[in-house]
Chain A
């Protein structure tokens, strides 16, 4: 018999005569303590994200491309990976057009195999959108897709994420049920709650383990 059949048989034999337990999920336990008045959501998310070395800025729909330029200039970053086919990508390209001294814009437009070394070795920063944020845990929600593939938010040492204030939810549970995630998840969904880090040596916290060394969140307050 196959391993599969053996394992399932053994489990079924052990359960003979029993019935599965009913589902007694008490959702108040994961929502009750994690609700915030709308005006406090940004502050809560900010506090938690900053506690783990995320740089958070509050800006507006119109101003963020200039903000990005400023942040990159300060770091002497000369190229930026962006997604031209997204509304925010389009906006960035439009705003930067003709401006002097802007970092070179790079595009993730080929399968990764065709430019993996370049992505790993040359790209200095990326800017992506987010599906939303979670106030309870200070998290960004990313659903990578063709325009903003999975590695775009992972490989470049600096990741800039755009977060609409209106997309900040109280807690993960409410977000996933409101949006009915169970009906269909993308091939990869992520909660990101800071730059990569490790405490594996003597429990001393060090940032920039394998993913981005810096995570910069721009909260667009008017959308």
Chain B
């Protein structure tokens, strides 16, 4: 299998990739059309504002309550799952998680793995890890399958191939599969179905993600529309689920509002075609289902985000994608510009904890802080607030304690810090301010022609000959506005 070309190698940084994406009119129209339609669908699905806001409040409550008791819930989950016959594994890093998954596959002499959609497996780059060890790991979600076929990463967490149109997919199928298919979407999907059905039949191991892990009953809940999730978790003799440690909720009933929030926010659907609740492997008297079910719980930076009460809120996320659908920046630059597993607003707040803020220094500032993401988030994560916090962390002076985000301070510049100090002094001490005004108006011709990135797209600011204060004083003197002459 071909290796993926890491997007980061194509163009080195966010700004460079953004420039390329902005110049790609096909890409921009693919995203614009898709995001407009997703926004409309969500709005239709939440037509009653009071109902929506009540449910978001409840969603936030459930997630916050779960996190406030996370270690105990994880233990309860483990106990319940174990009692149900599901084996639980813990991994601090993606390497550990990959080793666990690989070990399980090896133990069954597995050569073919079929995978349902899972963002955590993307974090792990599981496909590449297994391919390097001669194990085929095939994506079975239609969007993921298309993306994998083209050696790309998903550009959206719910709609992985949204950056491509039908013509591009048809060209890809013709090139990679030697299948002559038209641009008709039904025909394309039926081709994918035919190929993947054979894989479901043959696969030794099925891998999936988890939407919610229920501690009370020891249940893994998965939502999906295609049926590939059910196939991957039911047909092969072994099922391995991978998920982040934050996905646990206390009670079965907690998933009722969360599933409703998830499917309505993501796709505007009252519910997905399938809600799949897995509470155990095949029982002795049953005729199908996997003989073994495993759950791998992954940390990968989540305990880091957890240390800080404000940042902990990033772990509320139920991965619905609504924040990216409503983001003016994401809509214009697309998912690949972010260069990481999670794009868009949610990506900007979770990625720093996974890879370090110094690896994604432009992420927190790639936002107009318009607030749309925070307004639509079904579990009320205050994304704009967290972005501002990350901007501060980004310019933290060296030696600043405590460090709450890995890789903080990479954008710190002594020069910038000094300039802001001077600005504060000028604006808080009238004498300095007057002196500055006097100088700026007299020597305006000497104003710098270049003012950093500002003058890349704007003309340089030139001070006026007279300050507003000055003009106002004159104006007042010459008019009878003060009423003294009457």
Q: Which residues of A contact B (CB under 8 A)?
A: 2-4, 6-8, 10-15, 18-27, 29-30, 33, 48, 52, 108-113, 116-117, 120, 136-139, 145-146, 149-151, 154, 171-173, 176-177, 181-182, 184-204, 206, 208-212
Q: How far is the CB of B223 from chain A (nearest CB, A)?
A: 9
Measured between beta carbons, the chain B residues less than 8 angstroms from A190 are 230, 274-277
B90 to chain A, nearest CB (A): 4
Tell whether B160 is near chain A: CB-to-CB under 8 Å.
yes
Q: Are A3 and B271 in contact (CB under 8 A)?
A: no
For the complex of A and B, 8 pairs with smallest distance between CB atoms: A211-B227, A200-B143, A196-B227, A209-B226, A20-B69, A210-B227, A187-B280, A191-B275
**B182 at interface by CB-CB < 8 Å:** no
B288–A151 touching, CB < 8 Å = yes
Closest to B34 in A: A203
Q: Is B91 an interface residue (CB 8 A)?
A: yes
- B201/A117 in contact, CB under 8 A: yes
- In whole angstroms, what is the CA distance A158 to B186 when docked? 17
Q: How far is the CA of A211 from the CA of B351 in the complex (A)?
A: 34
Contact of A149 among B34, B70, B142, B288 (CB under 8 A): B288
Q: Which of B64, B69, B237, B250 has the most chain A CB within a 10 Å cutoff?
A: B69
Q: Taking A3-B299, A25-B254, A196-B273 as contacts, is the C-beta distance between A188 and B289 under 8 angstroms?
A: yes
Q: Mark B216-252, 1 if CB is under 8 A from A, else 0.
A: 1101000001111011001101000000010000111
Residues 66-103 of B, flagged 1 when their CB comes within 8 A of A and 0 if not, give 00111110110000000010000011100010000000
Q: Is the CB of B281 within 8 A of A196?
A: no
In the complex formed, the residue of B with least CB distance to A152 is B288
Task: Please list the residues of chain B having a beta carbon within 8 angstroms of any beta carbon in chain A.
Answer: 30, 33-34, 37-38, 48, 51, 54-55, 58, 61-62, 64-65, 68-72, 74-75, 84, 90-92, 96, 140-143, 146, 159-162, 164-166, 169, 185-186, 188-190, 192-193, 196-197, 200-201, 216-217, 219, 225-228, 230-231, 234-235, 237, 245, 250-254, 256-257, 260, 267, 270-283, 285-289, 297, 299, 303, 306-307, 312
Q: Report how far A80 CA is from B281 CA in the complex, Å.
A: 27
How far is it, in angstroms, between the C-alpha of A15 and the C-alpha of B74 when the chains are bound?
14
Residues of B within 8 A of A149 (CB): 286-289
- How far apart sit A46 and B190, CA to CA, in the bound complex (Å)? 27
In the complex, the answer to whether A8 meets B34 with C-beta atoms within 8 Å is no
Are B234 and A150 in contact (CB-based, < 8 A)?
Answer: yes
- Choose among A8, A193, A202 the residue with the greatest number of B CB atoms under 10 Å from its CB: A202
Given contacts A196-B225, A201-B142, A208 and B189 within 8 Å (CB-CB): yes
Of A30, A136, A192, A196, the contact of B257 (CB 8 Å cutoff): A30
Complex Cα distance, B263 from A52, in Å, reads 14
A211 to B278, CA, bound (A): 18
- Asked if A26 contacts B279 (CB within 8 A), the reply is no
In the bound complex, residues from chain B placing their C-beta under 8 Å from that of A195 are 273
Q: A182, B253: Cβ atoms under 8 Å?
A: yes
Kindly list chain B residues whose C-beta atoms are within 8 Å of the C-beta of A201. 142-143, 146, 161, 164-166, 169, 185, 188-189
Chain B residues near A3 (CB-CB < 8 A):
90-92, 96, 299
Cβ contacts A to B, 11 pairs, < 8 Å: A25-B61, A30-B55, A109-B287, A116-B201, A173-B253, A185-B279, A191-B271, A198-B225, A200-B146, A208-B189, A209-B142
